Amino acid sequence: MKSTQPDAGAEAGKANVSKFDLLLAAVCRNCPVCRRARSKQKGAAFWLVQRVEKRVCPFCRAYERVYGRPAHQKVA
């Protein structure tokens, strides 16, 4: 089972993470498009998330603030 907690790399910036950011990041974590992009690392979902996340999607931006990595990056 995968951990839903922010990784150790995000601890330094955790003071700037609000509860609202955590809620938004949870949406991204459960988003079918973002999940597919993280797991497959190729295809239409990956392409879309790579290009849309920082400019358009508030959930992807919150995911990066909370977890310290882009929404399309594979979870270790």
Supply the range of the domain harboring residue 44: 15-67
Q: Is residue 3 part of a domain?
A: no
pLDDT at 27 exceeding the cut of 90? yes
Q: Is residue 53 part of a domain?
A: yes
Domains contained in the chain, number: 1
| pLDDT in the model for residue 7 | 55
Q: Is residue 44 part of a domain?
A: yes
Range 44-56 average pLDDT? 90
pLDDT: is 76 or 8 the higher one? 76
* Tally of CB atoms within 10 A around 70: 16
How far, in Å, CA of 39 to CA of 75, rounded? 8
pLDDT-based confidence at 10, cuts 50/70/90?
A: very low
Mean per-residue pLDDT over the chain, rounded: 85
* Tally of CB atoms within 10 A around 45: 20
Q: Is residue 4 part of a domain?
A: no
